[in-house]
């Protein structure tokens, strides 16, 4: 079940407001003595997050299907995707839904009942925690998310079943701007920079065209520059993937296969990024999922 982005915070009776985490969405399957952790696009993350798998295995139920997000927290207990890439051994599994337990399919039950089941199953322990609810009132929850420096919040209708697609029964409101964007090329390095200067980024419009939205040249260590450069070489293309190629010199274009997570201050009026920073690669997201924002109005 995926949340729909909305443009501003709100408060509604019968809704709850949870912390929006900045990590990897993971489904955890437990079948007897076997646990599998799968990403949204069916990448097996069990070995990558072994201590999370072990924590799920230790839960008392014989069969479980949990939904949540694997995250890493900074010193202020704010989840950071960049930290997750650097220190996967310190991650935790923030669980927000229980879809199956001991032979019973729970997906058609309202969230309120699924959450109660989840709270009976999952205790904060060695890599597991329950998703945090910020406040009973949606406006107060947004203020708290902003004060704490969180990425945002997810509002959920307590009466809704689990819907296996994007839904308006889950709505997300962002505090900090982050997007997954397609890497369509890079510029030549300048000065002391090695391998490349900046990444050229794009997102798909409603017509299916990859639209150039700006470049990012910060957020790279030397090791990241080198590893990215190696991954780029098989993707080098003689032509631009963008419908509106940038006016840049010394550009190497790439086939649009890789997705980067980018933080930034805001979108400009002509859909360009302001003050972008590179956070990491997203191998759990398809490039075609990277679309120009279409904020739903309440």
**Tokens 């299907």 label which residue?**
65
Choose among 190, 234, 189, 185: nearest CA to 213: 185
Distances (CA, A) of 244 to 148, 213, 232, 236, 271: 38, 9, 21, 18, 12
- CA distance readout (Å), 59 to 123, 135, 167: 9, 28, 30
Based on the residue annotation, tell me whether 20 is a catalytic residue of this protein: yes
Instruction: Give the distance, in angstroms, between the CA of residue 263 and the centroid of all CA atoms in the same chain.
Output: 12
If you search the block for the tokens 């360009």, which residue do you land on? 272
Dihedral sign, Cα of residue 81, residue 41, residue 34, residue 109:
positive
Determine the distance from the C-alpha atom of residue 95 to the mean position of all C-alpha atoms in its chain, rounded to a whole number: 14
Rounded CA-CA distance 177/151 in Å is 8
Q: SS3 string of 3-36? A: EEEECCCCCCCCEEEEEECCCEEEEEEEECCEEE
* Cβ atoms of residues 139 and 9 within 8 Å: yes
Q: Among all chains, which residue has been given the structure tokens 């001991």?
A: 102
Measured CA to CA in angstroms, residue 246 lies from 173, 241, 242, 273 at distances of: 31, 11, 8, 13
The residue annotated as part of the active site, out of 20, 30, 156, 215, is: 20
What is the C-alpha to C-alpha distance for residues 172 and 152, in angstroms, rounded to an integer? Answer: 7
Q: Which residue has the tokens 């972008």?
A: 276
Residue with the two structure tokens 């990859």: 210
Catalytic residue numbers read: 20
């Amino acid at each position: 079940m995926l949340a729909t982005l909305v443009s501003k915070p709100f408060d509604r009776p019968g809704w709850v407001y949870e912390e929006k985490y900045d990590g990897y969405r993971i489904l955890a399957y437990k079948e007897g003595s076997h646990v599998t952790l799968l990403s949204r696009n069916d990448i097996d993350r069990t070995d990558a997050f072994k201590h999370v798998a072990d924590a799920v295995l230790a839960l008392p139920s014989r069969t479980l299907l949990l939904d949540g997000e694997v995250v890493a927290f900074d010193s202020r207990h704010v989840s950071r995707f960049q930290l997750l890439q650097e220190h996967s051994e310190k991650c935790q599994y923030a669980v927000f839904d229980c879809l199956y337990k001991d032979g019973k399919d729970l997906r058609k039950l309202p969230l309120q009942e699924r959450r109660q089941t989840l709270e009976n199953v999952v205790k904060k322990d060695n890599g597991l925690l329950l998703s945090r609810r910020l406040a009973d009132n949606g406006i107060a929850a947004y203020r708290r998310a902003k004060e704490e420096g969180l990425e945002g919040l997810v509002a959920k209708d307590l009466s809704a079943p689990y819907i296996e697609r994007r839904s308006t029964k889950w709505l997300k409101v962002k505090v900090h701007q982050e997007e997954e964007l397609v890497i369509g090329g890079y510029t030549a390095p300048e000065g002391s920079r090695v391998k490349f200067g900046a990444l050229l980024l794009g997102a798909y419009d409603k017509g299916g065209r990859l639209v150039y939205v700006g470049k990012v040249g910060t957020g790279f260590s030397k090791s990241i520059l080198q590893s990215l450069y190696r991954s780029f070489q098989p993707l080098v293309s003689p032509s631009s993937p963008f419908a509106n190629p940038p006016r840049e010199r010394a550009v190497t274009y790439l086939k649009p296969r890789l997705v980067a997570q980018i933080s930034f201050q805001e979108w400009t009026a002509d859909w360009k990024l302001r003050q972008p920073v590179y956070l990491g690669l997203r191998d759990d997201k398809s490039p075609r999922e990277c679309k120009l924002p279409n904020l739903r109005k309440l």
